[in-house]
A and B are shown apart, each in its own frame.
Chain A
Amino acid sequence: MIAIVDYDIGNLGAIENMLARLGAKAAITNDAEKIRSATGLILPGNGSFDACMCGLRATGLLPTIEKRVFDAKVPILGICVGAQMIGKGSEEGNEKGLGWVDMTAHKFPASPALRVPHMGWGSVRVTQRTDPIGSALEPDSRFYFVHSYYLKPAFRHNVILEANYGFDFAAGVVEGNIYGVQFHPEKSHRFGKSLLRAFKDLCG
């Protein structure tokens, strides 16, 4: 079962819907027992970085999640702000991130040509074909993005996907069993389905 971590931040039904279409067992949950027994975790995130970090901490689930991620090496996928949360922090707020991946989130400079938030479909380039998720994407994949802050990993080896909005930025990151994607696979048609299928397969 894949547990979608619920800390009351809006619509998680779409993720559950798409996993169900892929034949994966998934549950939106804040139950520590379910998180302990899950073979995969999804960390969603919507809204502001600080609100998400505070909301997640308030559930008291973090020690359980970290135990699963670091001891049992259960795959985890951060989506959107969830992907920013696995880094060290964000220019958007003052809260510390989880610090699992050496990266921070930075604000897009606004210009008349490139409005902020970056909202819409963007092409994604796979920068690590050897990665199980990177290698599973369809050619010419495009995904739905909604964000004002972008991921900036310290090391190139953490980047698996790149997109462009005025400049190239990391659209997908990895550190062992920890994944993060800036876009919304659950809202990206068959391209998102391929990605979530690859993640589901990683979860066994």
Chain B
Amino acid sequence: MIPRVIPCLLLRDRGLVKTVQFGSDVYIGDPVNAVRIFNDKEVDELIFLDIDATREGRGPDLEIIYEIAGESFMPVAYGGGISTFEDAQRVIRAGVEKVVINSTAYRSLDVIREVSAVYGAQAVVGAVDAKKALLGGYKLYSRSGTREEKVKLTDHIAALVDAGVGEVFVNSIDRDGKMSGYDIELIRRVSSATPTPVIACGGAGSVADLAEAVEKGGASAVAAGSIFVFRGKHKAVLINYPRGAFVDVS
């Protein structure tokens, strides 16, 4: 099995942006153009996250999802603003394979349960955003890192798995956009708390970092933003995709 290498792309005002620690952002470009480039590069999979939908109290932007999905000849996951089963259904009907559920799962696990029952576990990704706590361990945050949640990391992962997610996506808020390497300890905690595949995100700065998340963190797939959209010391915007980070060992 070759670990998947997944560009994780952030939607804001119908454009793509890249954040640092969930804060300041840089404009990257048009999402549909980016999909076309990633198609040519034959990427393993794409994740799109609308980082404003939940905070702005609106549902998913179906028009942009439909456009993105129509151009994608690889699996696509979408997250952002999905708070009901109907939201998830509309997103799936717009053409994506997987819905990513984050903030809603802290209030209720019903959306995950229903999507998993109707479309199968493979169609639901449970996502968590975590930050290192001062006294050790991790704290979870919802609403694009703006609301602290009380539940323990491993308890929450167990609840997501129990509700029927087919995958867990874990993002490090501290490492986001820093390109200094993944939070391996965080990934390890998550991957040992679930039998499902784990997608690691947050901090990748090199191909070696991708490998480390798999080899040391136990991730089954690696997601990243900066390394796929920036090039060079000055972070010039350039969509790219490193091939051969992993070789098939099966």
Contacts and interface: CB of A to CB of B under 8 A. Distances in A.
> Are both chains from one complex?
yes
Given A11-B92, A116-B195, A189-B42, A47 B123 contact: yes
B2 A120 contact: yes
Contacts of A13: 69-70, 95
Contacts, number: 104
Chain B interface size, under 10 / 10 to 19 / 20 to 34 / 35 or more: 35 or more
Contacts of A11: 69, 92-93, 95-97
Contacts of B97: 11, 14, 146, 187
Contact of A119 (B72, B95, B122, B248): B122
A123 B248 CA distance: 8
Most buried by A among B72, B73, B74, B75: B73
Judged by DSSP, the binding face of B is loop
A120 B196 contact: no
A88 interface: no
A17 interface: yes
Contacts of B167: 119
A67 interface: no
Contacts of A186: 73
Contacts of B4: 119-121
A70 B97 CA distance: 32
Contacts of B96: 11
Interface in A8-35: 9-11, 13-14, 17-18
B195 A123 contact: no
B250 interface: yes
Nearest to A189: B42
Contacts of B250: 122-123, 164-165
Interface in B178-208: 195-198
B73 A46 contact: no
B44 A120 contact: yes
Interface string A170-188: 0000000000000010111
A192 interface: yes
Nearest to A21: B73
Interface of B: 1-4, 39, 42, 44-45, 69-70, 72-75, 92-93, 95-97, 118-123, 166-167, 195-198, 218, 220-221, 248, 250
Given A115-B195, A119-B197, 8 more contacts: A11-B92, A11-B97, A17-B73, A47-B120, A121-B2, A121-B4, A122-B250, A144-B74
30 contacts: A10-B93, A10-B123, A11-B92, A11-B93, A11-B95, A11-B96, A14-B72, A112-B218, A115-B196, A116-B195, A116-B196, A117-B197, A118-B1, A119-B122, A119-B197, A119-B220, A120-B3, A120-B197, A120-B220, A121-B2, A123-B250, A146-B122, A146-B166, A147-B122, A164-B250, A184-B75, A187-B73, A187-B75, A188-B73, A190-B42
